[in-house]
Structure 1
Amino acid sequence: MELSNFDFLNHHDELLVRLAKAFRGELVPQAPNDEPAAELLKRIQAERTTLTPPRRQRNQSA
């Protein structure tokens, strides 16, 4: 089946709308027991600092 130019563009327009909704988190409803993204990011950062040893500074040679 061959799509006309209009059908082709219309299909891609719908895909772009769906992709934009995905990035905004609008494809599925928010589960009431899910934590907000900001809280999740704070928790990940806290875990990362406890699991990752501090990096050593490079010696600056002039």
Structure 2
Amino acid sequence: MYFTDRGIEELQKRRGEEEVSLSWLADRMVEFVDLHPEFEAATERLATWLARLDDDED
């Protein structure tokens, strides 16, 4: 188990029944990077990955 899995599991446990919009998620990610600029690159990579999930892989 990766260390980050604990955070993901906590998210599922605490908020797993909630529904949120992608706009809400994007706003929270911007907020997070504003508070923790050292995580900008990782947050950007996650956002890009999520945005491109449905792209056709050629």
Short-chain TM bin: 0.3 to 0.5
Higher RCO structure, 1 or 2 (CA under 8 Å, sep 6+): 2
Q: Which has the higher helix share?
A: 2
- TM-score between both structures, scaled by the size of structure 1: 0.31
Q: Who wins on radius of gyration, i.e. which is larger?
A: 1
TM-score (norm 2): 0.33
